[in-house]
Structure 1
Amino acid sequence: MLPSAAFALFASGCTHLAPTPAPTPESAVRVVDTACSWVRLITISPADTPETKRQVLAHDQAVLTNCPRPSK
């Protein structure tokens, strides 16, 4: 019983209440997405597999949805 009582005594001495730090002011985070400046549509090759063609089509649809082209 003595070893467990000694452990409880030593373990309880390790805890203390630290002062709560002052809150820091929120900093404004601004994300600038520049993907539309470099993302391009991909063309499909007749040699591409059906799965590759599906992936290219999904990519191109995402580009057209997320990067509207300016009207001329």
Structure 2
Amino acid sequence: DRVVRFRCPDSGTTVLDDLIKGPILFNNAELDDLVLQRSDGVPTYNFAVVIDDVTMNISHVIRGDDHVNNTP
């Protein structure tokens, strides 16, 4: 079964500019390519939320510490 993925860079660092904690760095070599659409054709929750945020002109996202690793 096929899925649609967002290809992440294999090297380098992704930086999240957190307004409270400051820069949070993620090593790209440790990140997987993100699944955007499952094999049944349904978009993943994480992708749908981003589309919803863009559609609603959301400029800032508030997350708990337990969801920071879902950010990159």
Q: TM-score, normalised by structure 1?
A: 0.20
| Greater fraction of residues in helix | 1
Query: Rg: which structure is higher?
Result: 1
Q: TM-score, normalised by structure 2?
A: 0.20
| Greater fraction of residues in strand | 2
